[in-house]
Amino acid sequence: MPKDVAVIGVGQSAFVRGYPGSIRELAFEAFREAMLDASIGVKEIGASVVCSAPEYDRQRSPSGLIAEYLGLNPQPTFVIENVCASSTSGIRAAYSLIKSGLHDIVAVIGFQKMSEISSAESQERMGRGADIMWESPFGTMMPAYYAMHARAHFEKHGSTERDLAMIRVKSSKYGMLNDKAVYRGEVKLEKALNAGVVSSPLKVYDCCANADGASCVILANRDRAVELSPKPVWLLGLGAATAPMNLTGREALDGLSCARAAARQAYQMAGLQPQDIDVAEVHDCFTIAELMAYEDLGFAGPGKGVDLVRNGETYIGGKIPVNVDGGLLSKGHPIGATGGSQVRTIVLQLRGEAGAMQVPGAEFGLVHNIGGVGIYSNVIILGR
């Protein structure tokens, strides 16, 4: 397994519904925590990669603004946007910058301040993440897209609304333990099942919440990582893939082909198999997305993800603990910050620093981050 690039620092702001400051202040909260975690100064950062989806705030070029505010001039900075998969795409770019030898240490900063626009405006922007000629003009927004995935999975594999509600119950159990999460209330099974319908069969508690938040992941090459960090966490496998933007161009809707392809790449690069993973963070923008991820990542066979749900195998102590920080369903989903937050959780797990959410003895962790409705996928495998 290659051990050439490591995470030496992670940080995250609290994810909240209405952050009172600016985007530069929001980014600073995550950056400061990551820099303290890495115990380095700003002059050690060779470059920064800023990750954010456009049109949620008025700033046209956020990377320059944030680099200036964080004291990172004159080091180069770049902006990356792959909607919800932006910050894991940023990590992939940072990995490449380090492996190429251009930079020794790179900071990946993801942020989104979604509260600057209304919920309706946010949904419209998310809808335009799909094809603006053939899909989004007809009102296909995120809940409707994932509702189609849910219906397809129900009809092909016999999964049910109850299975999805059980995923939300798990999310709330761990979200209550996460002081960075936007939603920390308990959701009981009957409450989830009886909630209002958003887009049938998805109900209120099947859907994640918009949030404001920032994340930061600091990567270093092998020499600097060993020198600077007592507990470097290594990037062992990286996979990335895409799928047709239009759903009519896809072979099936009961899973995400791009996630399966990215997972295969990551496992091959890491020299690992699904059964080697001790803890996973998957992109649960909707409960059905988590269920599909179990199967796309090989934790269960096609249609067998419900067995993990029904047998409690995705809790701590189960076969494969998943989203034990509450996932997007509890943490919230500030688009550009989400993937970095997932990586932070896995890093803390592998360092044994996850507190009440700790999976005992975790050695290998996986991050699965999806952009749009299965348009982009990044899978990252990390090891201690």
Please write the tens of the pLDDT for every residue from 6-65: 999 999 999 999 999 999 999 999 999 999 999 999 999 999 999 999 888 878 899 999
| Segment 224-243 mean pLDDT | 97
Length of the chain: 384
Tokens representing 305? 């993800």
pLDDT for the residue 120: 79
pLDDT for the residue 123: 75
How far is Cα 111 from Cα 382, in angstroms, rounded to an integer? 22
* CB within 8 Å of 42: residues ≥ 6 apart: 35, 70, 71, 72
Is CATH 3.40.47.10 correct for 128-209+235-383? yes
pLDDT for the residue 133: 83
| Segment 55-80 mean pLDDT | 93
| Segment 57-75 mean pLDDT | 93
pLDDT for the residue 316: 98
Catalytic residue among 103, 283, 333, 368: 333
How far is Cα 346 from Cα 330, in angstroms, rounded to an integer? 17
| Segment 371-377 mean pLDDT | 95
Tokens representing 173? 């159990």
Distance between the two ends of the chain, CA-based, in angstroms? Answer: 12
Q: Of 326, 366, 330, nearest to 350 (Cα)?
A: 366
Place domain 5-118+211-233 in its CATH homologous superfamily.
Thiolase/Chalcone synthase (3.40.47.10)
Which residue spans of the chain are classified as CATH 3.40.47.10? 5-118+211-233, 128-209+235-383
CA distances from residue 65 to 79, 88, 169, 277 in whole angstroms, order as listed = 11, 21, 40, 38
Range list of H helices, 199-278: 222-228, 257-270
CA distances from residue 61 to 46, 73, 211, 333, 380 in whole angstroms, order as listed = 20, 15, 21, 22, 27
| Segment 240-255 mean pLDDT | 93
Catalytic residue among 84, 208, 258, 285: 84
Q: How do residues 265-294 score in pLDDT, each as one tens digit?
A: 999 999 999 999 999 999 999 999 999 999
Question: Is the pLDDT confidence value at 371 over 90?
Answer: yes
pLDDT for the residue 348: 98
Share of the chain above pLDDT 70, in %: 100
pLDDT for the residue 268: 98
Beta strands in 205-294 (DSSP E): 212-221, 233-242, 279-281
* CB within 8 Å of 313: residues ≥ 6 apart: 307, 319, 320
Q: How do residues 323-361 score in pLDDT, each as one tens digit?
A: 999 999 999 999 999 999 999 999 999 999 999 999 999
pLDDT for the residue 121: 80
Q: Of 286, 358, 284, nearest to 316 (Cα)?
A: 358
Share of the chain above pLDDT 90, in %: 88
Q: How do residues 167-206 score in pLDDT, each as one tens digit?
A: 999 999 999 999 999 999 999 999 999 999 999 999 999 9
Q: Is there a cis peptide before residue 230, judged by omega within 30 degrees of 0?
A: no
Tokens representing 187? 């959701």
Tokens representing 154? 């129900």
* Catalytic residue status for 157: no
pLDDT for the residue 3: 86
How far is Cα 308 from Cα 39, in angstroms, rounded to an integer? 40
Rounded to two decimals, the pTM is 0.97
Q: How do residues 125-173 score in pLDDT, each as one tens digit?
A: 777 777 888 887 877 788 999 999 999 999 999 999 999 999 999 999 9
pLDDT for the residue 374: 95
pLDDT for the residue 366: 99
| Segment 221-246 mean pLDDT | 97
Q: Of 294, 309, 303, nearest to 155 (Cα)?
A: 303
At 111 the three-state DSSP class reads strand
Measured N-to-C along each axis, helices 119-127 and 142-157 cross at an angle, to the nearest 10 degrees, of: 60
* Catalytic residue status for 84: yes
How far is Cα 241 from Cα 10, in angstroms, rounded to an integer? 25
